[in-house]
Amino acid sequence: MNNLPQEFGTNLNESIDSVNTIDKPVRISAGELHKYVLGLIGVFVAIVITYPISMNRVAQKEKFVPYQSHVKSLTPEYKPVEPQAETATVPVAPTQTPAQVVTTPEHTLNRFMKSVYAVAYSPDGELLAASTAAGGIKFWDSKDRTITREFPAHDSLIYGIAFSPNSKTFATASDDGTVKLWGAKLGERRVTLKGHEKTVYGVAFSPDGETIATGSFDRTVKLWDVKSGDLKKTLTGHENFVYAVVFTPDGKNIISASEDKSIKVWNVQTGEVVRSILGHTAPVMSISVSPDGQTLASGGETINLWNLSTGTVKNTFQGHTGAVYSVKFSADGKTIASSGVDNTIKLWDVDTGKLTQSLESHATLVPSVDFDRNSAALASASLDGTVKLWNAR
């Protein structure tokens, strides 16, 4: 009995001591407080510095989605939408060694602050235009290679550019889902084409200059009136992104290339599919029609030449070590230029199928090439921020 009050008193004293300890204010020395404040400042500075960098990296990754998607599509684990029609058998040519390797271009235009996504010569040969990731456009005089004007065209990157047949109008296709038409001489905006729900990647003028075709990530091809900007037709049938559009020389058909590995030929008047061309085993990123309208070149995992009348394959070129992003016929139809993931531009003899030259100077992917129709010049645009000019003879 006498032990209980003692034990109780002991426990009570311990409880009181613990309460007093809790209530006592914690005192921090000036030195510790200084270190604490400096630590908070350090964390704040780190957030301020690293957050914009992180956001910029995220933005850059988003901008590269089409390129990353295409590279990824060449890997076994990627399973894009399969075309429903039967796939044609494409004969595969052996990988070729170029007859000549050229490592020095004739000229490198002033370096861009951002990657260059597209390049195009005006049909009259007087201007060369290029677009950047920042949504800007630059024009050069093709003869003296001086900048004649530059201006911001879109708030986001520009994937596709094109001149009208008379060289007076210039079109820009952007990640913002719009296409804008500009006066090529003064750079004034004439009309904005709005109707696509997603990124517009491909753009092309009809031979008479009255219609413009656009291809979008919303899986459609749209035809617009150049003067009014009114939508004429929406062509549906692709099962994935549309990367490229081009008219046939007679203006009767529009051809489109897609992430779904197919190429479709459409009747411009009716909007119906005339023919589906199948055979690529990866997304088709680029197409070009020969000047005589008989042959179509397409770039994907290989470069294929097709008979447009029958849709059958004529030849296939292998020389790139990665995906092909751009193919273009020369003005005489005798040469095809191609470029892609392996940082190179290849020149091919159309008749023999031989790889004549490999142009190797860019530091990274080359998404666009274009011939000057009035000379032997070839321009290439790269994500390394340069435009290079080559002698394509």
Amino acid in the structure at residue 111? R
Cα distance between residue 371 and residue 330, in whole Å: 6
* Per-residue model confidence as pLDDT tens digits over 11-24: 434 443 444 444 44
Q: What is the pLDDT of residue 110?
A: 72
Q: What's the pLDDT at 16?
A: 36
Q: Measured between alpha carbons, how far is residue 232 from residues 160, 186, 195, 223 in Å?
A: 20, 27, 11, 5
* Residue 220 confidence (pLDDT): 98
Instruction: Give CA–CA dist 95/355, Å, rounded.
Output: 10
Cβ-in-10-Å burial (0-12, 13-18, 19+) of 10 comes to exposed
Q: What is the pLDDT of residue 62?
A: 42
CA distances from 60 to 57, 66, 133, 155, 326 (A): 5, 12, 9, 14, 21
Q: What is the pLDDT of residues 299-326, one digit of tens each?
A: 999 999 999 999 999 999 999 999 999 9
Extract the residue ranges of the chain whose pLDDT is less than 50. Answer: 1-24, 52-65, 67-90
* Strand, coil or helix: 317: strand
